[in-house]
Chain A
Amino acid sequence: MNWEIVIGLEVHTQLSTVSKIFSGASTAFGAEPNTQACAVDIALPGVLPVLNKGAVERAIRLGLAVGGKINSPSIFARKNYFYPDLPKGYQISQYELPIVEGGSVLILVEGVQKTVRLTRAHLEETRVNRCTRISTA
């Protein structure tokens, strides 16, 4: 029997923005604990997320670099589950219409050029932090 190996990767990348994806709190590395967590991050009653424009711009740049389709509109969705490090009880992520769909990355393996096709790249928060996520297949 002949088997074909198909490997999919899910890659999380932290963006270089100076503030978080849904709040104005700083992302600076190495600060004292709890000094960069604002009311939105700890999900106090009544707070609301506001999308970081810089994060969207970086995701679009990535999409253009890999030749993907930039979705407009693009939709954010809540992924609901309980966990102690998930203050709101849901993660804001993307499901339908992620910011980037398709595209590809060319790599050289032992002198042979290979194409890695991308399924999607979407924006999401992680913990009280943020990253983009690229799934390839």
Chain B
Amino acid sequence: MLNFSLKELADLLAAKKISSVELTTEFLRRAQALNPHYNAFITLNEDLSLAQAQAADAMIAAGRVQPLTGIPIAQKDIFCAKDWRTTCGSKMLESFISPYDAHVIEQFNRAGAVNLGKTNMDEFAMGSSNETSYFGTVKNPWDNAAVPGGSSGGSACAVAARMAAAATGTDTGGSIRQPAALCGISGIKPTYGVVSRYGMIAFASSLDQAGPMAKSAEDCALMMNVMAGFDERDSTSLQREPENYLRDLEQPLKGLRIGLPKEYFAEGLSADVARAVEAALAEYRTLGATTVDISLPNTKLSVPVYYVLAPAEASSNLSRFDGVRYGHRAKNYGDLNDMYSKSRSEGFGAEVKRRILIGTYVLSHGYYDAYYLQAQKIRRLIAQDFTAAFQKCDVIMGPTTPSTAFNLGEKSGDPVSMYLSDIYTIAVNLAGLPGLSIPCGFGDNGRPVGLQIIGDYFSEAKMLGVAHQYQRVTDWHQLSPKVM
């Protein structure tokens, strides 16, 4: 049952062949057994989860069943959830119990889904390996020496190791797609504005976007139907007609034009990743798609631009963590400035401090024009690259990451090398486009490879269909690692 799709689980629940309490208990037992080893969850709270499962069973008994009613979903610990500890992977919020629900949490609650637990993540979503979490590293279930990716590493690990039926993630520069790729699962970052950011702890507000992480594209589509939608509490939430993200799943691919950016198949791409991606492209050609060479000439600028803009926004967003009203406050301090200084010095980890310092610097008087404004202009150029590309193709494909999962500790001492592992994902956030990653094979070291699919604005349903058609004829997404 742990391998069942969301649809299969929903059918079992609706037919009353299993109760939500039974299903939730089964996932909880597995999560409790595996978590000491994998560290995918920061918080498990059996009482809260089972109370929701009982409520779901009552909904089912009353005939009020929605597609995810009674299904246990792991929530990234960046989403505020009422009565749940919400840490964002930081010592700063180690004991913060949220008094309110994020919009995404509300949506799952309305759907009758069960919150299975809060997943581990890089501190304030700043990282690509989950190694910056205050609550310890997460192991990649395919190879325990490897990182799971980040920042949504706990969610990726939980789904890959079948500790949760599905999970949520957030993606500021690749934080859904990169861990999905490294852990062999499916994940989609929607168009900016499709999922409300209300209650999602802000890292870089103009880039942050929540999305599903699950075993398949079909599961992601079911999750999108719950997560997407207008929310007046987020001024960047888009007021659009509700979509059914399942609608294009069975669309045949004949005539689909796939753009292959030459910059994504250039120096820096590992041979084994290239091989797996080429094989997936061959499969797509068999399914009736054609491939066309395209260029995204400003790709190489995306990492430097991101590391000006994201820290700039973060430095301001994280200033509310000052030890005054909630969160960590130093035990001993002198005056007010000393209290701020000590509380923040103790509460934040090294990567968060590095980015606050970079961000404060690039926004400071005299440097704003040289760094921040220039970066904003290049951001526009990067978005224009994609607009031009979509004149020639319907979707863009390439590797999600330049290599398979790296080893724990391999890049944690070298920030630039770590930052470059997001070279294929960051431009998508800068342009506000949707991006998806699905498993497409394994590298020489037996670690998963992800295929990235980038679509035009609001083409999530089409992209999920393109991914689903591949998953109909391949079984990479059904493979799960042997755990423990």
Provide the A82-100 mask, 1 if CB < 8 A to any CB of B, else 0: 1010011110000000000
Chain B interface, >50% SS class:
loop
Name which residue of chain A comes closest to B200, CB basis.
A46
In the complex, chain A residues whose CB is within 8 Å of the CB of B322: 82, 89
Bound form: Cα–Cα A89–B201 in Å: 15
Interface range for A:
10 to 19
- Which of B198, B235, B325, B340 is in CB contact (< 8 Å) with A47? B198
Bound form: Cα–Cα A15–B86 in Å: 36
Bound form: Cα–Cα A84–B339 in Å: 11
Name which residue of chain A comes closest to B234, CB basis.
A48
Bound form: Cα–Cα A65–B318 in Å: 40
Contact segment of B92-100, B171-179, B436-444: B92-100
Q: Is the CB of A44 within 8 A of B80?
A: yes
Q: Is the CB of A45 within 8 A of B320?
A: yes
State whether A89 and B320 are in contact (beta carbons under 8 Å apart), knowing that A46-B201, A48-B197, A48-B235 are contacts in the complex: yes
Q: Is the CB of A89 within 8 A of B235?
A: no
Q: Is the CB of A49 within 8 A of B235?
A: yes
Chain B's nearest CB lies how many Å from the CB of A79? 10
A28 an interface residue at 8 Å Cβ cutoff?
no
Bound form: Cα–Cα A42–B319 in Å: 13
- Which of B79, B198, B324, B340 is in CB contact (< 8 Å) with A48? B198
A78 an interface residue at 8 Å Cβ cutoff?
yes
Chain B's nearest CB lies how many Å from the CB of A134? 25
For window 226-247 of B, CB contacts with A under 8 Å fall at: 232-235
5 chain-A/chain-B pairs, Cβ below 8 angstroms: A44-B98, A44-B326, A50-B233, A78-B316, A87-B320
A39 an interface residue at 8 Å Cβ cutoff?
yes
Q: Is the CB of B99 within 8 A of A39?
A: yes
Chain A's nearest CB lies how many Å from the CB of B327? 8
In the complex, chain B residues whose CB is within 8 Å of the CB of A51: 235
A16 an interface residue at 8 Å Cβ cutoff?
no
Q: Is the CB of A45 within 8 A of B235?
A: no
Q: Is the CB of A88 within 8 A of B320?
A: yes
Q: Which 4 A-B pairs have the closest CB atoms?
A: A89-B319, A46-B199, A45-B201, A43-B320
Q: Is the CB of B96 within 8 A of A45?
A: yes
Chain B's nearest CB lies how many Å from the CB of A128? 11
Q: Is the CB of A87 within 8 A of B325?
A: yes
B277 an interface residue at 8 Å Cβ cutoff?
no
Chain B's nearest CB lies how many Å from the CB of A78? 5
Bound form: Cα–Cα A45–B337 in Å: 22
Provide the A28-72 mask, 1 if CB < 8 A to any CB of B, else 0: 000000000001001111111111000000000000000000000
Provide the B185-208 mask, 1 if CB < 8 A to any CB of A, else 0: 000000000000111111000000
Bound form: Cα–Cα A42–B99 in Å: 12
Bound form: Cα–Cα A50–B232 in Å: 8
State whether A84 and B326 are in contact (beta carbons under 8 Å apart), knowing that A44-B100, A45-B86, A50-B233 are contacts in the complex: no
Residues of A within 8 A of B (CB): 39, 42-51, 78, 80, 82, 84, 87-90
State whether A45 and B198 are in contact (beta carbons under 8 Å apart), knowing that A39-B99, A82-B322 are contacts in the complex: no
Q: Is the CB of A84 within 8 A of B324?
A: yes
Name which residue of chain A comes closest to B340, CB basis.
A82
Chain B's nearest CB lies how many Å from the CB of A94? 16
Bound form: Cα–Cα A51–B79 in Å: 23
State whether A47 and B199 are in contact (beta carbons under 8 Å apart), knowing that A39-B100, A87-B320, A90-B319 are contacts in the complex: yes
Bound form: Cα–Cα A43–B326 in Å: 10
Bound form: Cα–Cα A84–B320 in Å: 10
In the complex, chain B residues whose CB is within 8 Å of the CB of A45: 80, 86, 88, 93, 96, 98, 201, 320-321
Bound form: Cα–Cα A5–B99 in Å: 55
In the complex, chain A residues whose CB is within 8 Å of the CB of B199: 46-47
Bound form: Cα–Cα A44–B320 in Å: 8
Chain A's nearest CB lies how many Å from the CB of B2? 31
In the complex, chain A residues whose CB is within 8 Å of the CB of B325: 42-43, 87
State whether A48 and B233 are in contact (beta carbons under 8 Å apart), knowing that A39-B99, A89-B322 are contacts in the complex: yes
Bound form: Cα–Cα A42–B321 in Å: 12
Chain A's nearest CB lies how many Å from the CB of B363? 8
Q: Is the CB of B319 within 8 A of A82?
A: yes
Chain A's nearest CB lies how many Å from the CB of B391? 29
